Structure 1
């Protein structure tokens, strides 16, 4: 059943519907309703939802316009805290069965349904006389003021392009400049709040939100000798905001007011104050082709992706529809075919054609800006149509960026993965890649420590500086500069909670799948990474999706590095700091496929994600598991482990009843993930380390509580060998026989030793608890545990 939707009429507009219930929110009172209505307004209208005026009336039949006017006059203004149920009762709606239950409690779901079926709303936007006078909502059809992002030629020459909804965005008056705050080398636009979920530069600045000044990216981009630059950074690292900033800086204004408006966006910025000559020379002087490939999440077939691309190209051509009168008849025909989203053989040349039209119109070469250039390839790889997508985008972008110097002055592509030579940029010889460890653009994406300190002070949260550093810092770039994740910092300032903000925003299904089904060597390296903090890996110069499909370790480590789940511990060229070392490094990257590098997990937030990948979804909370284990509650620990195994693992994961090497690797990685987060509970975790006369599987120590646990895992591979309980006992005996206890720290006073055996989805646990008396380990005989196997083994499955 579709969620309820309320009919509303904006002042001067037609009727529209606003959902009262979505996946993101549920409307329960008038304040919620205002937020829902605000989300339907154009993004450029940035006033607070509280400024909306909502009037309500009970639905009646109307037959002529006069009836509607009379109805409006009867409408009553709603107060912000009024619940939907209160409104229903106020207007004495008769059909409200189930609104109030037997206990006198309001059923909110029924309230939303009854409200949608019986109440009409009239909404008024703030006016000039409102305390927000900088907003203007005048409608004039004789001389509209148009924003170039949605320019429509009002002297319509082809009526088939005219359809309902082609309404212009009305320009706000020129905004007042924000207060600019400078501390040392840091400049911020000091707003009253921070923008969460908004990435458009002009909306952030006009909305009065704080903004870290990254405008020197403009001069760095202009002054680079590279024709086309590719900057790879993790998601939510400010890439889209920076690209929209470049668009606002470079692009020719279609309406004269726009140059004044955009000048206010950059007033007091670093680019204006530190490089005024360059500012004057390049500001609003170029045609810009801006493309975003971020909205491809729902393209689960090649046909859907093709349709999405046609829609993007049609919108881009609509943005530049003013070019039409200057085209010849053949060009007009091509323009119409793209504009109407029709299929035609030259679709691969659509961007190149547009660059030619723009260059001819303005007499200047274009600036090309492409956001999330690699996202379509990632989607195509996940849904198994990668080759077709790769060929298509290679043609589309290749025609624009390769051998098109007459029409393209410079280009900047941003994305997450470095797929230059193996993706759709394979034939480009003019693209220079700038990863995290490159010096150019190193501090232009993400926040530096000084920038975060200024933001925290401005928003009066500087008392949390150390905690914010631990959670969100430690992305290393060139010259020992450290970056913070901007999305997480902004969310912390907004919400005031230290938690995983960034990792909750992304779909990591591809990464998680690749990790779970990776080989034993990768899982062993992952264990060392979590245990020791750093490991040595090889980063591929160019990431191949085919290598990922074949589970090549270096490809997976490369993907994790560029996606932001790893950072380098030392510069790849850190044998010194001379230019010779960097030149040597550059030559190596030019002629070699990979480079050795030491990596680590950057911060606490990302560490939580690593644990989540290795951990099954519904496992009990780690703190409870660790406490149960270290306290020697072995039966309860067995139950926790059993419930997780039986509920969340499949026989496909663990290899069925005749488990082999595959399941050994899987179980070891699984247990590592289940227990690894103990590091952040004040514990140390060691896995698969040499100790005594062999290699123990896991040792967890809490020096604070003076408790520890030694574990040895065993796999019962088929029913012809000893029982699963015997295998668990074998693991427990091995701990004593190989003297693993010698690896336990001297400070430990209570020790748990466990033998854990797996077979399919069955698990058995046996264990002992020891207490130290006068330096000697003495078993607590009452704590001895001999757990029977719990779970099930797949019948008749002899496959590994």
Structure 2
């Protein structure tokens, strides 16, 4: 008998079942979730732990057939042999009986609020078109159908003048579904916090937060529409990476249950991720049972509630790669986690942490545990505070750490879950966090920030104390050109700026020569260019003249020419002159490219 194939990263339940891919059955979690009595359930898990697949399978189990509302033939075929079918009363009550509105906010991002809004609008338009059958409903009036047609029009919805239509989309669509099928509807929002995460990192968090607050307004019982004396919304299920506090976007929402990796809810703790029995069955199916200890050492170790959990992304990747190798029983485990998601926020934190945090990091690398208080209502906007507590909370909720033990109110013993994550720490986090580099990296970030706002005084304020600590006479007393040491010194600083700068180039060919340092910062129409020319003088009194000569050289040799390739419309030019442990910074006027 031919084995089922492994489809890594496939979040479509129907595709997994119909195309004969291996599926790890999580349908036993449907009953405790739907029978909980909670109006809203928010489930947070790290990236790549199966949130979207779980939501998609739940949607398909519940969704009523628009063409034949009494038929459950589709569900009987798709869910045949799965655990949920063992409870006949539950299936009779829910299977194929619920109008469902499903929306994934994954990919709702952009360089500006307007760009992210356009991405969201596309999600709205696609969802409205999935329910196009409502245009023929005898229970919807002409005003309802007119609004539905507007939701299906991308041009109409993309116009920011119509943003109020987008804000009320969930409320209105749930009403249309409930009225057409004459029963309460359910709402599933996958990756609900992605727009907020991206907005926080791109600088338009407040605008996005205001919109999301209005968009989720239907989650308030008193704000939602009513049909037959009942709210049109029966239940909402949301998934995401971080728990967002009610005060930020859920103000006024009641009967709100939150299940995080710190929760003790046994019935939902294994709804996402693989349990040990899941993994053993998978390995046995593919003849890889002898690899159990390798898989456990590399990919196990997470603790969600009372369950030990394996990372599904990594287990499936390992099995797929092992089976395609020459010798599956000798195939060496690899690090599949390291490329799964952006680590920009974590990289950004590393320049702001303390010596105590450095010691904690080393304890974790050495296999120990650390006791910390967790900010379990961490907002994406809070991350910009660069607080130590927020950093460790972020590592926990994004899967870099796991809970070893509950140690008191919001206090936990935390550890690195497995060898794969320890490997990731060594290659990506520990190197950036080394004690000797950490404070230097923080200065590099501050220097880049000053450069991108035209603040010559701020740049000098960063550089002058560093020169006293890092520059000696021996550093510059070589046969190499006089500017070389300072050039390398500045390049090392800017290399620590992480995602605050882009397109960094040293000795970049541009115009009629080679610019010492060029880079860009920002996105879209806000993208700025930076050009720096470096000079070194023999006497401190020559510094100001050297700065002027550097700025003149930038103009005469047209060093800003390369910024057009970086899509910059404006730029700052700087002349920086050094003499031993002294420096002067000049320029900082915003120019057109």
- Name the residue aligned to 1:600: 415
- Name the residue aligned to 1:652: 444
Matching of residue 409 in structure 1 with residue 221 in structure 2? no
Match of 1:285 among 70, 82, 97: 97
Q: Residue 491 of structure 1 contacts residue 501 of structure 1 at CA under 8 Å; is this kept in 2? A: yes
- Name the residue aligned to 2:42: 230
- Name the residue aligned to 2:191: 372
Distance 2:580 2:304 in 1: 50
Distance 2:61 2:206 in 1: 36
- Name the residue aligned to 2:56: 244
Q: What SS does structure 1 have at the residue aligned with 2:243? A: coil
- Name the residue aligned to 1:197: 9
Distance 1:307 1:442 in 2: 35
1:713-792 equivalences in 2 (<5 Å): 717=469
Q: Residue 105 of structure 2 contacts residue 191 of structure 2 at CA under 8 Å; is this kept in 1? A: yes
Match of 2:76 among 238, 263, 285: 263
Match of 1:468 among 275, 295, 299: 295
Distance 1:532 1:464 in 2: 23
**Superposition deviation, residue 408 in structure 1:** 1.1
Q: Residue 75 of structure 2 contacts residue 95 of structure 2 at CA under 8 Å; is this kept in 1? A: no
Q: What SS does structure 2 have at the residue aligned with 1:211? A: coil
Distance 1:321 1:662 in 2: 65
What RMSD in Å do the two structures reach over aligned CA positions? 3.4
Match of 1:324 among 135, 140, 143: 135
Distance 1:197 1:793 in 2: 56
- Name the residue aligned to 1:399: 218
Q: Residue 299 of structure 2 contacts residue 420 of structure 2 at CA under 8 Å; is this kept in 1? A: yes
1:446-525 equivalences in 2 (<5 Å): 446-479=273-306, 481-496=307-322, 497-525=332-360
- Name the residue aligned to 2:117: 306
Q: Residue 367 of structure 2 contacts residue 416 of structure 2 at CA under 8 Å; is this kept in 1? A: no
- Name the residue aligned to 1:22: none
| Structure ranking higher on relative contact order (CA contacts 8 Å, 6+ apart) | 2
Can you list the C-alpha shifts for 1:654-689, whole angstroms capped at 9, x where unaligned? 9899989998xxxxxxxxxxxxxxxxxxxxxxxxxx
TM-score (structure 1 length as normaliser): 0.52
TM-score (structure 2 length as normaliser): 0.69
Can you list the C-alpha shifts for 1:35-94, whole angstroms capped at 9, x where unaligned? xxxxxxxxxxxxxxxxxxxxxxxxxxxxxxxxxxxxxxxxxxxxxxxxxxxxxxxxxxxx
Matching of residue 218 in structure 1 with residue 43 in structure 2? no
Judged with a 3 Å threshold, the aligned counterparts in structure 2 of structure 1 residues 386 and 521 are, in CA distance, closer, same or farther, namely: farther
- Name the residue aligned to 2:563: none
- Name the residue aligned to 2:108: 296
Q: Could you tell which deviates more after superposition, 260-269 or 243-252? A: 260-269
Distance 1:793 1:318 in 2: 67
**Superposition deviation, residue 598 in structure 1:** 0.9
**Superposition deviation, residue 420 in structure 1:** 2.9
Distance 1:470 1:367 in 2: 40
Q: What SS does structure 1 have at the residue aligned with 2:374? A: strand
Distance 1:301 1:615 in 2: 32
- Name the residue aligned to 1:613: 428
Q: Residue 446 of structure 1 contacts residue 486 of structure 1 at CA under 8 Å; is this kept in 2? A: yes
Matching of residue 338 in structure 1 with residue 173 in structure 2? no
Q: Residue 105 of structure 2 contacts residue 190 of structure 2 at CA under 8 Å; is this kept in 1? A: yes
Q: Residue 51 of structure 2 contacts residue 272 of structure 2 at CA under 8 Å; is this kept in 1? A: yes
**Superposition deviation, residue 296 in structure 1:** 2.5
Distance 1:397 1:380 in 2: 17
Q: Which blocks of at least 5 consecutive residues in structure 1 are unaligned?
A: 1-178, 180-189, 574-587, 589-594, 620-643, 664-714, 726-757, 764-791
**Superposition deviation, residue 225 in structure 1:** 2.2
1:571-586 equivalences in 2 (<5 Å): 571=406
Judged with a 3 Å threshold, the aligned counterparts in structure 2 of structure 1 residues 548 and 506 are, in CA distance, closer, same or farther, namely: same
Distance 1:558 1:437 in 2: 11
1:623-638 equivalences in 2 (<5 Å): none
Q: Which blocks of at least 5 consecutive residues in structure 2 are unaligned?
A: 225-229, 323-331, 448-458, 477-487, 494-577, 586-593
Q: Residue 437 of structure 1 contacts residue 572 of structure 1 at CA under 8 Å; is this kept in 2? A: no
Q: Residue 286 of structure 1 contacts residue 367 of structure 1 at CA under 8 Å; is this kept in 2? A: yes
Q: Could you tell which deviates more after superposition, 326-335 or 283-292? A: 326-335
Matching of residue 354 in structure 1 with residue 181 in structure 2? no
**Superposition deviation, residue 794 in structure 1:** 9.0
Aligned residues: 449
Q: Residue 195 of structure 1 contacts residue 204 of structure 1 at CA under 8 Å; is this kept in 2? A: yes
Can you list the C-alpha shifts for 1:144-176, whole angstroms capped at 9, x where unaligned? xxxxxxxxxxxxxxxxxxxxxxxxxxxxxxxxx
Distance 2:215 2:172 in 1: 11
Q: Residue 6 of structure 2 contacts residue 22 of structure 2 at CA under 8 Å; is this kept in 1? A: yes
- Name the residue aligned to 2:204: 385
Can you list the C-alpha shifts for 1:601-646, whole angstroms capped at 9, x where unaligned? 11111122222333569x9xxxxxxxxxxxxxxxxxxxxxxxx99x
**Superposition deviation, residue 795 in structure 1:** 6.9
Distance 1:347 1:654 in 2: 39
Judged with a 3 Å threshold, the aligned counterparts in structure 2 of structure 1 residues 649 and 366 are, in CA distance, closer, same or farther, namely: same
**Superposition deviation, residue 434 in structure 1:** 0.5
Query: Counting helix residues as a fraction of each chain, which structure ranks higher?
Result: 2
Matching of residue 420 in structure 1 with residue 278 in structure 2? no
Distance 1:322 1:229 in 2: 29
**Superposition deviation, residue 284 in structure 1:** 0.1
Q: What SS does structure 1 have at the residue aligned with 2:9? A: coil
Can you list the C-alpha shifts for 1:320-348, whole angstroms capped at 9, x where unaligned? 11112332232222222221132423331
Q: Residue 200 of structure 2 contacts residue 381 of structure 2 at CA under 8 Å; is this kept in 1? A: no
Q: Residue 228 of structure 1 contacts residue 401 of structure 1 at CA under 8 Å; is this kept in 2? A: no
**Superposition deviation, residue 191 in structure 1:** 5.1
Q: Residue 471 of structure 2 contacts residue 580 of structure 2 at CA under 8 Å; is this kept in 1? A: no
Distance 2:363 2:247 in 1: 30
Matching of residue 434 in structure 1 with residue 186 in structure 2? no
Distance 2:464 2:275 in 1: 46
Can you list the C-alpha shifts for 1:394-448, whole angstroms capped at 9, x where unaligned? 1111224543361111111111111133542344233211011322410111111
Q: Residue 351 of structure 2 contacts residue 441 of structure 2 at CA under 8 Å; is this kept in 1? A: no
Q: Residue 657 of structure 1 contacts residue 759 of structure 1 at CA under 8 Å; is this kept in 2? A: no
Distance 1:514 1:216 in 2: 39
Distance 2:3 2:55 in 1: 21
Q: What SS does structure 1 have at the residue aligned with 2:231? A: coil
